[in-house]
């Protein structure tokens, strides 16, 4: 493996277009890379393919992880796994699955073919339940509009409740609202579990064009709910980086957006940005420390274009996985793991191999230092 890397946070202000760049300073946090482990692509568990792992969370009481699979019931029923990830001091020692549970729709049935698109999963330590998101599907050419969802479930996959998605984050037949495959990728509880927050991967149509290789005035949105009343408690703008590398050919597919988020405290969040361009191996994964303490609440703002009075979330780079100097796959999951021998918190990342024979399922281990 590469030697340990330490990248300390630098106190930077976000350089954004227009005047949406009035930010302060963030308290220092740093991440140190410890280890990486590849999960075999032929791993099977109870007649399912343990691949397409797009979200992860940790239950410290049982020392187990819940990992959602983004199979849209195309191969096997949509599902999530319970797994063990064993550490040997500061190294990833082993990974093994202990259980698989089928996700179910509101009628209690396993999801039909392409009826859902699982992306993120979080464990609620106060209730023992899980919450997961589906990106849904917006395919006008096939007249398919499966709306994004946020469901609270028992561990067995049965639906207990759901969170009402604000209208602006839904799909429409016209180019307004959410973009296909660009909705509920990120989700995290606040540390006290009183609020549940989500982020969209790409800008809403009203908030500007898709992120590209040059900077534009597009912004992403974070929004949160009170977990008891399910009322919305806030909404904030976030400026993502431009696409990290140009595609080949130049007109080919490229993207940068938020693949996951993880709360540190009541306002500070680890935000994982993922950039991919056709013709380039792997992805550029950057982890930022963001804070909405001084940001403008944008719940009543329908469009973030031409809004000079709006202050976005503060943002500073913690770690760019490109600095590891190795192939980085489609990292989509992030969670805290167990305490390390030195008492610091560990962070686990997992990649989604998209069920592709040219990609890898990777686990990453980091150490988090908070000052």
pLDDT digits (tens, 9 = 90+) for 273-315: 999 999 999 999 999 999 999 999 999 999 999 899 999 999 9
Which residues span the domain enclosing 265?
5-370
Q: Total structural domains in the chain?
A: 1
Read off the pLDDT band of 217 (50, 70, 90): confident
pTM of the predicted model over 0.75 = yes
DSSP 168: G
Cα dist from 349 to 68, 223, 307, whole Å: 13, 23, 35
Neighbours of 109 (CB within 10 A): 11
Residue 331 CA to residue 278 CA, distance in Å, equals 16
Hey, is 336 helix, strand or coil?
A: strand
Read off the pLDDT band of 224 (50, 70, 90): very high
pLDDT digits (tens, 9 = 90+) for 188-199: 999 999 999 999
Cα dist from 275 to 80, 87, 163, 251, 282, whole Å: 25, 29, 29, 16, 9
pLDDT of 16 strictly over 60: no
Phi first, then psi: what are they for 168, rounded to 5°?
-65, -20
Tokens describing residue 145: 């509009």
pLDDT of 4 strictly over 60: no
pLDDT of 261 strictly over 70: yes
**What's 354's domain CATH number?**
2.115.10
Angle (CA) 244-250-251 rounded to 5° is: 110
pLDDT digits (tens, 9 = 90+) for 54-66: 999 999 999 999 9
Residue 298 CA to residue 239 CA, distance in Å, equals 14
């Amino acid at each position: 493996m590469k030697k340990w890397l330490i990248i300390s946070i630098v106190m930077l202000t976000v350089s954004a277009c227009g005047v949406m760049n009035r930010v302060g300073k963030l308290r220092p946090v740093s991440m140190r890379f410890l280890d990486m482990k590849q999960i075999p692509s032929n791993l099977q568990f109870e007649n399912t393919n343990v691949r397409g792992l797009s979200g992860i969370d940790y239950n410290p009481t049982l020392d187990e992880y819940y990992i959602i699979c983004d199979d849209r019931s195309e191969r096997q029923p949509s599902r999530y796994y319970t797994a063990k990830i064993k550490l040997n001091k500061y190294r990833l020692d082993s990974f093994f699955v202990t259980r698989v549970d089928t996700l179910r729709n509101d009628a209690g049935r396993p999801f039909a073919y392409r009826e859902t698109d699982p992306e993120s999963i979080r464990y609620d330590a106060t209730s023992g339940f899980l919450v997961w998101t589906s990106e849904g599907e917006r395919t006008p050419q096939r007249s398919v509009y499966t709306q994004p969802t946020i469901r609270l479930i028992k561990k067995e996959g049965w639906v207990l409740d759901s969170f009402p998605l604000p209208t602006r984050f839904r799909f429409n037949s016209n180019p307004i609202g959410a973009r296909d495959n660009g909705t509920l990728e990120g989700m995290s509880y606040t540390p006290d579990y009183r609020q549940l927050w989500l982020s969209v991967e790409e800008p809403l149509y009203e908030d500007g064009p898709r992120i590209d290789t040059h900077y534009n005035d597009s912004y992403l949105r974070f929004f949160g709910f009170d977990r008891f009343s399910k009322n919305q408690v806030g909404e904030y703008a976030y400026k993502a980086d431009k696409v990290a590398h140009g595609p080949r050919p130049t007109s080919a597919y490229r993207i940068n957006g938020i693949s996951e988020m993880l709360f540190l405290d009541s306002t500070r969040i680890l935000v994982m940005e993922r950039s991919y361009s056709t013709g380039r191996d792997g992805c550029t994964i950057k982890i930022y420390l963001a804070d909405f303490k001084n940001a403008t609440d944008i719940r009543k703002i329908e469009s973030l274009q031409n809004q000079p009075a709006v202050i976005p979330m503060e943002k500073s780079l913690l770690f760019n996985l490109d600095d590891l100097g190795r192939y980085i796959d489609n990292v989509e999951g992030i969670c805290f793991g167990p305490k390390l021998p030195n008492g610091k918190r560990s962070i686990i990342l997992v990649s989604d191999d998209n069920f592709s024979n040219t990609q890898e399922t990777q686990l990453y281990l980091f150490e988090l230092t908070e000052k």
